[in-house]
Each structure stands twice: as C-alpha cells, then as structure tokens.
Amino acid sequence: MKTAKKFFCLEGIDGCGKSTQLKRLAEFLIGKGFDVLTIREPGGSEISENIRKLLLDIRYKGVMDSRTELLLYNAARAQVIAEKIAPALEQGKIVLADRFAWSTLAYQGYGRQIDPQMVLELSKITCGNYNPDLTIVLDVSLEESRRRQAGDNRVADRLESEAVSFFERVRNGYLKIANEFSDCVSLVDANGDPDTIQDQIRQLILQKLV
Ligand SMILES: Nc1ncnc2c1ncn2[C@@H]1O[C@H](COP(=O)(O)OP(=O)(O)OP(=O)(O)O)[C@@H](O)[C@H]1O
Ligand SMILES: [Mg+2]
C-alpha cells in the first residue's frame, strides 16, 4: 500500500457534483494503490452525524441562529478531525473530504454575512494544523446547480431551501476564496460533462502526489 499523508477536499454550491466526483476520485486513487479515507461534512463520525441532523433539519428554518449554525459546523468538524482525519493521516492515508472549512466561510461567512475574518479565526481554533493540502472548488452556475438538484428528486434540507440570493453570495464567496487563497484552492469549471471534470481534478491531485 502506498502512503501519502495528503488531505484533499472538494467544495462548491449544492448540486455542483462534489459527491459524484469524490467517489470517482477515491476509486482512481485506490486503483493507484493508496489507502483512502473519504468523509462528508458535516458528519463523518457519530457525534458529527448527530450534529449534521440538527443543522439540516428543516424544522429549524428561521429558528436556528446564524451563530449557532456557525458553531455547530465547527463543532462537527473538530470531532471528525479528532476521531477520523488526524488518525488517518497518521496512518499515511489520503483523506478526501466532501466539503470542509471553506464551506463555512462560503455559507456562514459570505452566505449568512458573518464577518469572514471571524469565521477564519474560528476555523483556526477548530482545525489547527489539519487543513487540506488542496481544495478544488467545483464552480457551476446557479441554473445548472438547480437543474441537477431538481433531477435528484428529494426534499431540500434547511440549507438547500435558502433563497437564490443566498446561493449567489455563496457562489461568489467561493470565487473570492479561490482567488484569495490560490496557493491551496483551485477552481474547476464544473458545468460540463463529468469525465472532463474528473480529468481536471485528477491532474490537480496528481501534481500534489509527486
Ligand atoms: N457534470 C455533471 N453533469 C450533469 N449532471 C451531473 C454532473 N455531476 C453530477 N451530476 C448530477 O447532479 C446531481 C448532483 O450531483 P452531486 O450529488 O454529485 O452534487 P453535490 O455537489 O454532491 O450536491 P450536494 O451539495 O447536494 O451534496 C446528481 O444527480 C448527479 O448525478
Ligand atoms: Mg453531495
């Protein structure tokens, strides 16, 4: 088994294709002989999955305070780092995360309009040294994201049921993040077909594995 101790993350608005692409990427890396841990956020450990239920529960729409939301995302993250991510990296695995701390900056910072500097400070407390070596933001238009979600035919959760203006701020937030933190965040146009997107993701990841 090859060891790598690398942490990669896929980000982007709802329905941009993160889960689809992460699954393919994991299969590709396993095929190359790496030991891979995949996690989804919020979640990935029992405590974090319980926090996820609170966060996504549609009954709390208009009830959950933005700061509660911010802190719960961070709480879920601290736990999955301690229980899953840190041990996996110690064991020489590649960790692939479906969302991580940049989601909190995009959604709670830019989307909910909580001071981005404060969100970043809190992330430092939560993540310490556990930050992705590379994050790939899959950028799609809001129209395309809506089309893909509609195709999934499931009930929207609390975050997914936000207004279009919220998702515009989130998408623009991701574009700002990719621009500002270009040393560790890359942008991929994800409006096209899944194979082309996967090729671009693999190229970016392989550059970090040499
Ligand atoms: N490149 C693509 N072109 C067309 N459809 C796609 C593409 N990528 C994914 N899809 C479809 O769009 C839907 C959403 O994709 P996926 O679940 O991977 O997105 P996601 O970013 O993980 O969404 P969420 O944030 O809700 O978890 C799925 O039905 C998937 O099959
Ligand atoms: Mg997904």
Are 54 and 63 in contact by the 8 Å Cβ rule? The answer is: no
Domain limits, the chain: 6-209
Of the pLDDT bands very low, low, confident and very high (cuts 50, 70, 90), residue 210 is confident
Are 38 and 85 in contact by the 8 Å Cβ rule? The answer is: no
Strand order in the sheet with 36-40: 36-40, 94-98, 6-11, 134-139, 185-189
Cα gap 144→110, rounded to integer Å: 21
Centre of ligand 1 to C-alpha 142, Å, is 13
Q: Is 197 in the pocket of ligand 1 (CB under 6 A)?
A: yes
Percent of the chain with pLDDT over 70: 100
Are 71 and 46 in contact by the 8 Å Cβ rule? The answer is: no
Cα gap 86→128, rounded to integer Å: 11
Q: Is 62 in the pocket of ligand 1 (CB under 6 A)?
A: no
For the stretch 81-102, pLDDT in tens is 999 999 999 999 999 999 999 9
pLDDT at 131: 98
Other residues' Cβ atoms within 10 Å of the Cβ of residue 156: 14
Of the pLDDT bands very low, low, confident and very high (cuts 50, 70, 90), residue 1 is confident
Q: Is 85 in the pocket of ligand 1 (CB under 6 A)?
A: no
One of 3.40.50.720, 3.40.630.10, 3.40.50.300, 3.40.30.10 is the CATH number of 6-209, namely: 3.40.50.300
The amino acid sitting at 124 is: K
pLDDT at 33: 97
- The DSSP-derived string for 23-51 is HHHHHHHHHTTB-EEEEESS-SSHHHHHH
For the stretch 114-154, pLDDT in tens is 999 999 999 999 999 999 999 999 999 999 999 999 999 88
Query: H-helix or E-strand containing 8?
Result: strand 6-11
